[in-house]
């Protein structure tokens, strides 16, 4: 069983809300599931919206969109990145 922190749950909830993932619940998103492509099926506009989410909720400014691709690979990757870089 992977460790499920509050941050993981919080992230899932805000992703569902920010990206209008209708009919989805926190428990539907796996921590290591790919967010883009075959996984949740997010697209390039969603990626930009996730960049806004990082800044708004965690005070992290991401200026290189290419870097986003690695960070937004999964909830686990996102949570690790936020823990290491958050300013709020």
Partner 1 sequence: MKKLYLHDDCIISPLGFTTSKNLENLRSGTTGLQKLNKNDFLDTPICAGIVNSEILTETFAEIGNPQDFTKLEQMMLLAVQGVLDKNPELDLDKTGLIISTTKGNVHLLDDLADFKKERLFLSNLGNIVKDFFGFKLKPIVVSNACISGGLALAVAKKMINAGKFSEAIVVGGDMLSKFVVSGFNSFQALSENDCKPFSKDRTGINLGEAAAAILVSDLPKKNSVNISLVGDASANDANHISGPSRTGEGLYKSIQNSLKEAQISSEAIKAISTHGTATLYNDEMEAIAISRSELGEIPLHSVKGYYGHTLGASALIEAILCKHMMLNREIYPSLNFTENGVSAKINVVTAYQKSINLDYVLKTASGFGGCNLAMIFKKEGENG
Partner 2 sequence: MANLGVEHWVRIKNERIILDGEVIFSSEVDIARFLKASFKFLNIKYPKFHKMDRLSKLGFIASEIVLKNNNIDEETALVFSNNSSSLDSDQNYQESVKDFPSPSLFVYTLPNIVLGEISIRHQLKSENVFFIEDEFNANLLIDYSKQLIESKKANKVLCAWLNLHNDEYDVFLWLSSESHKKEASEEQIRKIYDADYD
Q: Which of residues 10-29 bind partner 2 (CB under 8 A)?
A: 19-23
**Minimum separation from the CB atom of position 14 to partner 2 (A):** 13
Q: DSSP string spanning 27-77?
A: GGS-TTS-SBTTSS-B-HHHHHHHHHHHHHHH------HHHHHHHTT-HHH
C-alpha–C-alpha distance, residues 67 and 62, integer Å: 8
Instruction: Identify the DSSP state of 22.
Output: T
Q: Which of 13, 17, 37, 44 binds partner 1 (CB under 8 A)?
A: 44
Comparison of 30 and 55: residue with beta carbon closer to partner 1: 55
**Contacting residues toward partner 2, per CB under 8 A:** 19-23, 41, 45-46, 48-49, 52, 55-56
**Contacting residues toward partner 1, per CB under 8 A:** 43-45, 48, 51-52, 63, 65
């Amino acid at each position: 069983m992977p460790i499920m922190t509050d941050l993981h749950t919080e992230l899932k909830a805000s992703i569902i809300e920010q990206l209008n993932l209708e009919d989805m619940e926190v428990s539907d998103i796996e921590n290591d599931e790919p967010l883009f492509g075959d996984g949740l099926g997010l697209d390039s506009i969603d990626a930009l919206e996730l960049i806004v989410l990082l800044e708004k909720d965690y005070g992290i400014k991401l200026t290189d969109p290419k870097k986003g691709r690695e960070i937004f690979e999964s909830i686990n990757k996102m949570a690790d990145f936020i823990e290491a870089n958050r300013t709020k």
